[in-house]
Amino acid sequence: MAKSYVEITESINRGIVALRNEVPDPLAGFSALAKGAMKSGALPEATKELIALAIGVAGHCDGCIGFHAKALVRLGVPRAQVMEALAVAVYMGGGPSLMYAAEAVHALDEFEARASGAAPG
- The C-alpha atoms of residue 113 and residue 121 are separated, in whole angstroms, by 8
Is the Cα torsion angle 17, 18, 23, 27 positive or negative in sign? negative
Q: In this structure, is residue 121 part of a structural domain?
A: no
Q: For residue 117, what pLDDT is reported?
A: 87
Is the Cα torsion angle 27, 17, 19, 104 positive or negative in sign? negative
As for how many domains the chain has, the answer is: 1
Q: In this structure, is residue 60 part of a structural domain?
A: yes
CATH number at residue 35: 1.20.1290.10
Task: Write down the mean pLDDT value for the chain.
Answer: 94
- 51: nearest Cα among 63, 31, 35, 37: 37
Q: In this structure, is residue 74 part of a structural domain?
A: yes
Q: In this structure, is residue 81 part of a structural domain?
A: yes
Tens of pLDDT, residues 11-32: 999 999 999 999 999 999 999 9
Q: In this structure, is residue 50 part of a structural domain?
A: yes
